[in-house]
Structure 1
Amino acid sequence: MAQITKQGFVFILNRENGEPLYPVEERKVPASNLPGEEAWPTQPFPVKPKPFSRQWITEADLSNFSKADHDSLIKQFRSLRYEGLYTPPDLKGTLQFPGTRGGGEWGGAAFDPATTFLYIKSTEAPDIQTIVRGDKVAGASGENAGQGGQLATFQGKARADQFVNTTGYRTWKDPSGNPAINPPWGTLSALNLSTGEYEWQIPFGNDSLRQEKGVPETGQEGRAGPILTAGGVIFISGTADRKLRALDKASGKLLWQTTLPALANATACTYWPKGKQYVALSVGGTKENPSGSIMVFALP
């Protein structure tokens, strides 16, 4: 049994008894400073496989689209609490990486029983957690929690002993709207579960407007997971470039792609009626077609 996580870990367990097939260590993690909160002092870290997502950033990793944007990112970086994975939410503000939209996504991974490879889409996106007391959230009263989600309430008033993250699920960006860290901003990895080693990892998705000349594709955020066919082809969508791609499972080489009418966050599916194979997926709505589409592809 294999489980990918938002932190970029892969836990590989014996499905019969739950024992790890590769070592897992309990390591100390940062303590919480929030009044009344006690974070658990350790968390499990698999020694193998290595993380499929970056788990640590420094000032050298901050993007530099302009001097003003870069200086702003450095100033903000230095003002936040950041001690790596599991840095708890803090009234000072906390940098979280991978963030709430980072690491493994709800689309999941794809397993190949012929090779024991696991194919994993990762998003590399930091968040800033802005923690405020419940009674300090703008407009918070009764059941109104402002932009951070619902507050616990007591007799119709927002409680001061509750805390709210007012910037949840927002990828950290510079003042001009560029990603706050250098690419890749998304990857696709092939993990050999039999050895615990990665066979390949590539940037997945491309921001052509921000890609520098002569360098690899940028990779992009994406929620959709991959599927794998018996013919050795990976199908995956979900990136902001609106592509549906077909890749060679052995190398990650691009075999085919098409541009969809909108973002497709759903994982594709494949089926085989009457000797012909189809690939189908749900595509989001547009101004012209608000309800979205179900799109189906096949060879002639």
Structure 2
Amino acid sequence: MKTIAAVVAGLTSALLSTSALAADVHWPKTGADQHFSRYSPANDINRANVGGLKILWTRPAIDPALAAEFPALKNALRGRGGDYFRSTPIEVDGVVYASNGVGLVEAFEATTGRTIWAQKPFSTAAADIGGASQRGVALWRAGSQARIITARGSFLYSLDAATGKPDESFGDKGRVNLVEEGRRGNAAGSPLVIGDVIVLGAAGMGAGIAGRGDDGGDQQAAYPRVSRAYDVRTGKKLWEFSPMPTEDDPARASWGPSAGISGAMQSYGLISADEELGYVYIPYSAPNPGGFGGYRPGDNLYGDAVVALDAKTGKKIWHYQTIHHDLWDLDLASPPVLGDVKVGAKTVKALMIVGKVPLLYALDRVTGKPIWPIPERPVPQNAVAGERASPTQPFPSRPEPLGRLNFTEKDLIDFTPELRKQALEITSKYTIGKLYMPPPLCKNPSGPEGTLQLPGSDGGGMWSSGSYDPDTNTYYTVVADIVSAHCMEKPPAADATLPYQKRPGRFQLAPQGPQGMPFLKPPYSHFVAIDMTNGKTRWRVPNGEGPRTSPLLKGLNLPMLGNPGKPAVAVTKELIFVGEGSSGMLMAGPHNAYGDKFRAYDKRNGKILAEVQLPAGTAGAPITYSVGGKQLVLVAVSGAPGQPDWSDKDCTGNDYSCVKEPSIEPVWVALGL
């Protein structure tokens, strides 16, 4: 393996021999920058030549030499984590740093994919061998020092960026144990470094009571998942912030008697920062379990809220809650995208965020105040006995919804009379519910099996959502239209502390449509461009083929219908690169939410300019960079190959893969001209 110094020297020599030097363009943060814009000014690949886009090289998810030295790593890769290679790399000075298929960091040449170094497991113990890819890594530099910060399992690591060896001055031999007072510590998302502070949006469990209070659980109790900050040089813990408010925080009253008992609200997505203000912005997910929340009366802050914290102290600056008293697992999981947005004649330091409900909340990131009015509107209240659903929810006046918020019988599939008839028969067993309708009791076989709701608990946006283009003052994202089925029943366990829980084994899955087809009309995904000057939609197109090639639709000559995956975008001066999502993402299989196509769109109008077939779907977010006048697009790929077959699937129980094709070995794919 080469050293970083040797690679940089080689690159410099090659560049100096080039008659016309092009300025390199890098991707030094998981989201391109601290603002999580996912924007690059790179333009070597542009409208005029992108038609020649092709795969240049691939690279295994684990360096072969590392896998040969530690054969057990390949076994770890074969688990579900290998199906979901969710890594997004960074690129600095011609070197890519990335979480590999089992969560160890690898450094490789940006233009060739050749290995420079690979992080070795801390030990050969099972806990240090096993692992899954992480969503990103971070780089810290000060003078001649450079460190790669990464989290894997229950530990936070600092590695020498030149060699990959642990920084012995950081924590205990280069790592910090996230387990505190016996509570499980585990990081999600990607570390963020602001100044000399490492911030983890999700670092483990905070103070509370243990329970089975995760998705679909039967216990009131659940540890809250806390955010933490550490000194980048020493690993010393600096602060901790819990989404369960402390006793001196007025927001604690929003939980009633369940304060200190309820929990979850993990920030499992990605976070952003404003270095000038010194703020970090963290989105928190829903309280768990969903379904019944009568024991936690109130809005339940800081669930489904974006919170601005002082990066040095952890002090809360402001918060904004997008859903009160969440009963549906409608997490706020996408990164808060920041931009200096032109709104009318003013420039606003803005924050833009979307959750599983496809509504874009545009806020002033200094104050947390809405840029455009976000009125509270009445929502359905027909809850089960003992529930105390919120009477209102916030609905942005601008922009218009990014995806659909409800559906009726008129929206059922009508490609053929027979398909529509079957869709009516399937949905007749349910009540078609409106957004924020509280889950009912399961009445099967004497009545409806529950409510069908759009957006569902797996629909809308996800950690992959969002980007901001400063050139055109435009927010771009892909959201999916996915329906969920909700109902509750009495828990069977004798020690249950909830009167109702979501029906075990169903876990919010909507019924399959006729013969495996969707039961709704298309589109099944929305690729949307929002003009942030006025909140209006510039353009909207489906992303993906959808079921238009199904034999059931033969002869209809349908346009693109959209695959309901949740891929991330990379925006450049003229283009937007985006895939279709991976079958490895939880629930992607039953929803046909994946596909192997990778496309370049004209960012002016949403027109497709290039399409490339990948070995499987995109699992991480694409990045793009230009080194020596050569621009590449790099993305992690995993899961089932090809396109969904949109046929009947056996997605019963808690196995949500139900994909007929076996998964590929996960790989990095580099595209260029």
- Please indicate, yes or no, whether the TM-score normalized by the shorter chain is above 0.5: yes
Distance 2:507 2:420 in 1: 23
Aligned to 2:356: 6
Tell me, yes or no, if the aligned pair for 1:281 and 1:295 is still in contact at 8 Å: yes
Residue 209 (structure 1) aligned with residue 549 (structure 2): yes
Between the two proteins, the alignment pairs up a number of residues equal to 279
Distance 2:579 2:487 in 1: 31
Match of 2:402 among 46, 52, 57: 52
Note if contact 1:70-1:174 (Cα within 8 Å) is conserved in structure 2: no
Q: Distance in 2 between matches of 1:236 and 1:269?
A: 10
Residue 294 of structure 1 corresponds to 668
For residues 221-277 of structure 1, the C-alpha deviation after alignment (integer angstroms, 9 at most, x for no partner) is: 112121101x31100012533101011110111111111111223221112233322
For residues 16-41 of structure 1, what are the alpha-carbon distances to aligned partners after superposition, in whole Å with 9 as ceiling and x for unaligned? 11111111110111125223221111
Shift of 1:178: 0.8
* Aligned-partner Cα distance in 1 for 2:355–2:486: 19
Q: SS of the counterpart of 2:388? A: coil
**SS at 2:612 equivalent:** strand
- Conservation of the 8 A alpha-carbon contact between 2:433 and 2:451: no
Structure 1 CA distance for aligned equivalents of residues 510 and 580 of structure 2 = 16
1:40 aligns with 2:383: no
Question: Please, which runs of 5 or more residues in structure 1 have no aligned partner?
Answer: 136-140, 142-152
Give the superposition deviation at 1:122. 1.3
Write out aligned runs for 1:158-177 (5 A).
Answer: 158=496, 161-166=499-504, 167-168=506-507, 170-177=509-516
Query: Which segment drifts farther, 121-130 or 191-200?
Result: 121-130
Aligned-residue offset at 1:111: 0.7
1:18 equivalent to 2:356? Answer no
Q: Aligned partners of 1:162 and 1:91: how far apart in 2?
A: 8
Question: 2:431 aligns to what SS in structure 1?
Answer: coil
Determine whether 1:220 maps to 2:594: no
| In 2: Cα distance, 1:116 partner to 1:65 partner | 38
Moved more, 279-288 or 55-64: 279-288
Tell me what 1:257 maps to.
Answer: 611
What one-letter code is carried by the residue in structure 2 that aligns with 1:106?
W
Q: Which amino acid aligns with 2:567?
A: A
Q: Which structure is richer in relative contact order (CA contacts within 8 A, separation 6 or more)? A: 2
- Identify if the C-alpha distance between structure 1 residues 289 and 90 changes in structure 2 by more than 3 Å, giving closer, same or farther: closer
What runs of 5+ residues in structure 2 fail to find an aligned partner? Answer: 1-350, 443-449, 582-593, 641-660
Aligned-pair distance for 1:285? 4.0
AA of the residue aligned to 1:108: S
Q: How does 1:1-300 map to 2 (within 5 A)?
A: 1-64=351-414, 69-92=419-442, 93-135=450-492, 154=495, 158=496, 161-166=499-504, 167-168=506-507, 170-207=509-546, 208-210=548-550, 213-229=556-572, 231-239=573-581, 240-285=594-639, 290-299=664-673
RMSD: 2.3
Q: CA deviation at 1:128?
A: 1.4
Taking the aligned partners of 1:169 and 1:279, their CA distance within structure 2 comes to 36
Q: Is residue 616–residue 664 contact of structure 2 (8 Å, CA) maintained in 1?
A: no
1:28-63 CA distances to partner (integer Å, 9 max, x unpaired)?
Answer: 111252232211111001111110101121111111
Closer/same/farther in 2, CA of residues 171 and 121 from structure 1, 3 Å limit: farther
SS in 1 for 2:559: coil
Q: TM-score, normalised by structure 2?
A: 0.39
- Higher-Rg structure is 2
The percent identity for this pair of structures is 30
